[in-house]
Structure 1
Amino acid sequence: MVSILMISGSVRRGSVNSAVIATAAELLPADMTPVIYSGLADLPHFNPDLDREPLPHKVAELRRMIGESSALFFSSPEYAGAMPGALKNLLEWTVGGTEITNKPIGWVNPSTMPNRAAETYASLRIVLSYTDANPVDQACVDVPIPRSLIGEDGIVRDEAIRSAISHAMIALVSAVRL
């Protein structure tokens, strides 16, 4: 089974980033299975003393999901000029494992403000370099998405934006199929 693990860096209900994830999942080709990670807020704070077997249950579950996926896809806000703490915490739990090694990675930055969230994605790229993950440049894009273009169902309905998200997903899927 070919699956894409999709992670929103926001724990906020109804966030634009979670709408990006839901929309990207909807746009995947039929032979790809989206797996939306929903445990971001439930992970324990990273502690190197706990980064060994037996791992905390939620961390073991995260690593299993990463290991079983063919690629990872992110969408995250920026808080105070940096990656949100919950997403950084998730990434810190991946550094000690090998599950993410060589996995193709993509993301959509939905900020409508020029250069907003740039630090989040620069940081994401740096942290991922410690895991030997494989960010796919064509799948790592800025797609400004105003909240007004998200339907009540949490899906982006604007066709131009859906097309831009779809292009990022096509690039990620192409990297998986190499």
Structure 2
Amino acid sequence: MLNILAISGSLRAASTNSALVAALARNAPSGCSVTVYDGLGHVPIFNPDDEGERTPHEAAALIDAVTRSDGIVVSCPEYAHGVPGGLKNALDWLVSRDAAIAKPAMLAHASPRSLFARAALAEIMRTMSFALCEGELEIALLGKKPPEVEMILGEEANQQAMREALQGFVSFIRANATSSS
């Protein structure tokens, strides 16, 4: 059983990115489980002086969750043509750790317009040595209210798209595990 960690880069209560990662968890194909990480808003601002024995509990919990996972999925909004500060901050806590090195990662998108954030996030994650899966998932949820979001995510075609994206990611994870052994 593969364990995938899904992270939303949004802290909004009605976030379409958070709704998307929750739907991914509900639509995980057999052979994998998807756990949604919900501690992003509690991770303190990264300070290299607080690494090692001084690593705050919330940051250590994130590092452990990423380390224990077989792969991560990140769904991220775009703010001012970039990656939201909370997500970038969380990733910064992983920079000097082994958690990101060769860790399979996939991007998922709730907006077709987040092109700058997509490029920036991919660059950040490649720089951190994540093994970034070329397959991405996009389900357009931008501007939708929560009931509309749930309706769209409940459509059979979108559920199938989520299962197929995750199945492709599972194959990517297994191929990376084989090539690194």
Q: Which residue matches 2:179?
A: none
CA apart distance, 1:86: 0.5
Count of aligned positions: 172
Q: Which moved more, 1:41-50 or 1:51-60?
A: 51-60
Give the AA of the match of 2:86. Answer: A
Query: Matched residues in 2 for 1:104 and 1:67: separation?
Result: 11
Within-5 A mapping of 1:139-178: 140-146=136-142, 147=144, 149-151=148-150, 156-178=153-175
Q: How do 1:28-43 residues align onto structure 2 when only pairs under 5 Å count?
A: 28-43=28-43
Secondary structure of 1:119's counterpart equals: helix
Cα deviation, 1:64-109, whole Å, max 9, x if unaligned, reads: 1111000000111111111111111111111111112111111211
The ranges of structure 1 where at least 4 consecutive aligned residues each deviate by more than 6 angstroms after the TM superposition are none
In the alignment, what sits opposite 2:23? 23
Single out whichever of 27-36 and 61-70 deviates more from structure 2: 27-36
Q: Which has the higher helix share?
A: 2
Shift of 1:131: 2.0
Partner of 1:122: 119
Task: Note the aligned Cα RMSD (angstroms).
Answer: 1.8
Q: AA paired with 1:119?
A: F
**Equivalent residue for 1:7?**
7
Normalised TM-score (structure 2): 0.87
Work out whether 1:55 is the aligned partner of 2:52. no
Structure 2 runs not aligned, ≥5 long: 176-181
Q: Identity of counterpart residues, as a percentage? A: 33
Distance (whole Å) between structure 2 residues aligned to residue 175 and residue 84 of structure 1: 27
Contact 2:16 2:110 in 1 (8 A): yes
